[in-house]
């Protein structure tokens, strides 16, 4: 089962300085997205690291997923937020049910789990995970 949400371990790691989405204070970390089959077990309360268990295979996909491009972290009032540019796999022939965003620079630490709400397959050999616009009420990562 894939349960969507921000990983609990990620929130604690932020306070310990593990994750840098920009190079404002130190070198930015590399964040990746791996895709998973419906048989994967990903839960925000229990998933702390990238795992290959349940990860998909297929044309156009490499184990570990792809590198994401973070937007500039920002805040509005008491809400801080972050998102990513859309993730795109070309030449894709696979089925995915969810994804894990993780920080590959800092020991593959889990950040966020996405549940797609069912199996998704590429259209015209292109598979895209579209992220919301970076904003206080729309970003994939928000902190209050």
**2-21 pLDDT tens trace:** 999 999 999 999 999 999 99
For residue 79, the surrounding DSSP H or E stretch is strand 79-82
The answer to whether the Cα torsion of 22, 67, 6, 86 is positive or negative is positive
Question: Within a domain: residue 106?
Answer: yes
Edge-to-edge, what's the strand order for the sheet holding 5-6?
A: 5-6, 109-120, 96-103, 31-36, 66-67
Question: Within a domain: residue 139?
Answer: no
Question: Within a domain: residue 136?
Answer: no
Question: Within a domain: residue 142?
Answer: no
6 SS3 class: strand
Question: Within a domain: residue 141?
Answer: no
Report the range of poorest mean pLDDT among 51-60, 78-87, 106-115. 78-87
Other Cβ atoms less than 10 A from the Cβ of 77: the count is 7
Question: Within a domain: residue 97?
Answer: yes
Looking at per-residue pLDDT, the higher value among 135 and 3 belongs to 3
Q: The domain containing residue 45 runs over which residues?
A: 5-131
The pTM score is 0.94
Question: Within a domain: residue 143?
Answer: no
Question: Within a domain: residue 121?
Answer: yes
Please write the tens of the pLDDT for every residue from 70-103: 998 889 999 898 999 999 999 999 999 999 999 9
Number of structural domains the chain divides into: 1
To the nearest whole percent, how much of the chain has pLDDT over 90? 78
Q: Of 14, 24, 15, 139, give the one whose Cα is nearest residue 76.
A: 139
pLDDT of residue 143: 78
Looking at per-residue pLDDT, the higher value among 91 and 24 belongs to 91
């Amino acid at each position: 089962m894939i349960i969507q949400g921000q990983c609990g371990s990620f929130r604690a790691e932020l306070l310990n300085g593990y994750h840098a989405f920009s190079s404002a204070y130190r070198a930015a970390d590399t964040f990746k997205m791996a895709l998973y089959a419906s048989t994967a077990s990903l839960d925000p309360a229990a998933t702390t690291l990238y795992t290959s268990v349940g990860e998909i295979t297929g044309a156009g996909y490499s184990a570990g997923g792809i590198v994401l491009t973070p937007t500039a972290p920002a805040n509005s009032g008491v809400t801080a937020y972050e998102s990513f540019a859309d993730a795109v796999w070309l030449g894709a022939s696979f089925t995915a049910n969810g994804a894990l965003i993780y920080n590959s620079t800092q020991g593959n630490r889990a950040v966020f789990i996405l549940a797609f709400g069912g199996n998704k397959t590429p259209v015209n050999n292109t598979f895209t995970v579209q992220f919301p616009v970076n904003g206080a009420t729309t970003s994939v990562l928000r902190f209050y």
